[in-house]
Amino acid sequence: MLERLNHVALAVPDLDAAVAAYRDTLGAEVTEPQALPEHGVTVVFVNVGNTKIELMEPLGKGSPIAAFLAKNPAGGMHHLCYEVANIIAARDRLEAAGARVLGDGNPGIGAHGKPVLFLHPKDFFGTLIELEQS
């Protein structure tokens, strides 16, 4: 069911500082910031050849990454995103296996304009998993 690793996401307290570190210090190609108010984050993507790194900063009140950053003030790894060919088939299979899909169980639209779902980290060894339809 899982296809390639689409991205690894890091929550960061200061997106400008994180962009500077990846672009200037690490010498990576970084996209322009993209505000995603429906997800409560502003994101950029770092292209690293075989996958991408998503850098996320809270946007607005009640951002879903605010609590994470309160616990990890310097930032940290927030989720892994795997591609799946059919997100509805993947969801149905996971729910049948007892895995918990966050929210109302219906896919939202992610940063790449494609359907995404998130799986409960307690079901996957402490790691939040995002699924994105490929």
Catalytic residue numbers read 130
Smallest separation, CB 129 to Co ion (Å): 10
What tokens appear for 73 in the block? Answer: 């003030």
Smallest separation, CB 108 to Co ion (Å): 11
| Cβ neighbours of 86 (radius 10 Å) | 13
Binding stretches for Co ion (CB under 5 A): 9, 54, 81, 130
Return the number of the residue (65 or 94) whose C-beta is nearest Co ion.
65
Return the number of the residue (24 or 47) whose C-beta is nearest Co ion.
47
Sign of torsion over alpha carbons 12, 16, 17, 23: positive
Return the number of the residue (54 or 83) whose C-beta is nearest Co ion.
54
Q: Read off φ and ψ for residue 123, nearest 5 degrees.
A: -85, -10
Cα R_g (the chain), whole angstroms: 15
